[in-house]
Chains A and B, each alone.
Chain A
Amino acid sequence: MAALYTPTILDHCANPRNFGTLDPYSVSHEDENSLCGDRIRVDLRISGDAIDAIRFSGTGCAISIAASSILSEIVDGRHLSDIATLTADDLLAELGITLTSSRLACALLGLNVIHAAIASHSRHLVTVA
């Protein structure tokens, strides 16, 4: 069996944590891997300078969904400044798998979306009541 598809990855793919949307949300951001069609949206509810709630949605390969699921558990309740310093290497260490260059983008899509969401929040974009 592929070394990529560990029980953890398969579990997070079949039962993604924090999957869904938030209403209301403080900020929402969406992005895709145009090469393969992975598309992840992240909704954040921010209280003070910490994430109060996170949901992610979208479609994509097992790696992108599982990585987003694992990431959502990591960032829930964390300070925005902590999350901003969360690196690709940190996430890959959490995933516990070795990725080829073509699958790295899948794993990092959720992280990129969360970073972009936090960045746009800090630029004071419109909040949805």
Chain B
Amino acid sequence: MTATVPTTTLDAVALRSQFLILSQTHNGFPITYLDSAASSQKPQAVIDAIRDYYERDNANVHRGVYSLSERATDAFEHARASVARFLGVADSSQIIFTRNTSESINIVAQSWGRSFLRPGDIIVTTVMEHHSNIVPWQIVARETGARLEYIGVTDNGYLKLDDLDRHLASGRVRLVACCHVSNMTGTINPIDQIIARAHDAGALALVDGAQAAPHFPVDLTTLDPDFYALSGHKMCAPMGIGVLYGRRELLESMPPFLTGGSMIRQVGLHESTWAPLPDKFEAGTPDVAGAIGLGAACDYLQQIGLDAIHAHEAALTTYAWQQLSSMPNLTTYGPPPVDRGGVIAFNLAGIHPHDVGSILDQDAVCVRAGHHCTQPLHARFGISASTRASFYLYNTEEDVDRLIRAIRTTLRVFGKAV
């Protein structure tokens, strides 16, 4: 089928040149990186910001009165302000730096969960969640006597909101944990509705924004979740830095997660008091360089424009989808492009995703093969693994063409019709 690429305002070819890593070749082919859902590449501006910090401004933060340390502290807090601005948050003390989305969710599960969950309370999550938004709740449910319930997924990869309503009607739901965008089906969930329904029933809402915040505008003041988690490395920032946003009163009511340095006000022999937000949740020396990288990434993405990035990915996803969904021996999972982000998981009939990934690698096409940390979602579709291609601002129409060609090669290797 001839698929047409709608024009976008993003000059992906020009942007691509800012990512040195994408200029490499493999087996004589230019690299086609289609695994940004696993981790994104970093533009020179972010790499420069980190290098500049270490060459010019590095010292421990919040510690010294000498100029270098004050510059480090200013740079660190400036990065926090960039992240707050990126997320539409007025008070940057509600932006807690963590290691990644997994750590952010673990903080809420352990710090909020263990203090406030009672036996018989219900936590609601969904079958499409990444393991990071399932396992911490399993653990804290077991620890507190709370019960974990699920929102199911339709055959087309939409959440069954009736399940949510049914659970909320019990009056025992204390928190609803849900992804903004699925890292497997790509489903963009109606998170505003889910948050509203949770709040109406007196429950909190935690949103896993790892696959959303990098790709389209997210305004937490409008969205109004109680907690929002994201990973820097999925949005052009380094690995090792993430964010937990929380409502001020909630964070203030929660005990600290990790304790020790930086997060205290006073330490006695047998008792200590806690520092105010955000320090209360940032024990020990932070990943200052990582935070600065994240701040630079936020500025970089906002300069390009998250609307433009989203439109660009939507165009590529549509172009890819039109071709993939017309191939006879290929099954895609999840909704049509209008309701999904730039993630497409698929299977080739009778060919294991690992084999697909290996053959695609021969042509320098980088995709992910496996369960993508979504074993329950794969079980829902009756599969153990899938192949996943994902798009970001530096991908082009040519990347999609190479993906399709390599998929056809794979089908031919195994003697299947293309």
Report which A residues bind B (CB closer than 8 A): 1-5, 10, 14, 35-39, 59-63, 103, 106
Identify which of residues 384-414 in chain B touch chain A, using a CB-to-CB cut-off of 8 Å: 384-385, 409, 413-414
The answer to whether A1 touches B384 (Cβ under 8 A) is no
The answer to whether B384 touches A59 (Cβ under 8 A) is yes
- A61 in contact with B352 given A5-B413, A37-B371 (CB within 8 Å): yes
Which of A3, A4, A62 is close to B352, meaning CB atoms less than 8 Å apart? Answer: A62
The answer to whether B358 touches A103 (Cβ under 8 A) is yes
The 6 closest A-B pairs by CB, nearest first: A37-B384, A61-B352, A61-B354, A37-B385, A2-B362, A62-B355
22 contacts between A and B (CB under 8 A): A1-B359, A1-B409, A1-B413, A2-B361, A2-B362, A4-B358, A4-B359, A5-B359, A5-B413, A35-B370, A36-B352, A36-B354, A36-B369, A36-B370, A36-B371, A36-B385, A37-B384, A59-B384, A60-B352, A61-B353, A61-B354, A63-B355
Q: Closest residue to B384 on the A side, CB-wise?
A: A37
Measured between alpha carbons, how far is A62 from B352 in the docked complex, in Å?
7
Measured between alpha carbons, how far is A1 from B409 in the docked complex, in Å?
8
Tally the A-B contacts, defined by beta carbons under 8 Å: 51
Measured between alpha carbons, how far is A14 from B414 in the docked complex, in Å?
9
Which of A1, A5, A37 is close to B355, meaning CB atoms less than 8 Å apart? Answer: A5
Q: Closest residue to A1 on the B side, CB-wise?
A: B413
**Whole-angstrom distance between the Cβ of A82 and the nearest chain B Cβ:** 30
Measured between alpha carbons, how far is A62 from B351 in the docked complex, in Å?
8
Q: Closest residue to A4 on the B side, CB-wise?
A: B358
Measured between alpha carbons, how far is A62 from B370 in the docked complex, in Å?
14
The answer to whether A36 touches B355 (Cβ under 8 A) is no
Measured between alpha carbons, how far is A45 from B185 in the docked complex, in Å?
44
List of B residues within 8 angstroms of A2 by Cβ: 358-359, 361-362, 413
The answer to whether A106 touches B362 (Cβ under 8 A) is no
Identify which of residues 340-373 in chain B touch chain A, using a CB-to-CB cut-off of 8 Å: 351-355, 358-359, 361-362, 369-371
Which of B354, B384, B385, B414 is close to A10, meaning CB atoms less than 8 Å apart? Answer: B414
**Whole-angstrom distance between the Cβ of A16 and the nearest chain B Cβ:** 13
Measured between alpha carbons, how far is A60 from B370 in the docked complex, in Å?
11
Measured between alpha carbons, how far is A39 from B383 in the docked complex, in Å?
13
Measured between alpha carbons, how far is A38 from B352 in the docked complex, in Å?
9
Measured between alpha carbons, how far is A60 from B414 in the docked complex, in Å?
15
Measured between alpha carbons, how far is A60 from B362 in the docked complex, in Å?
20
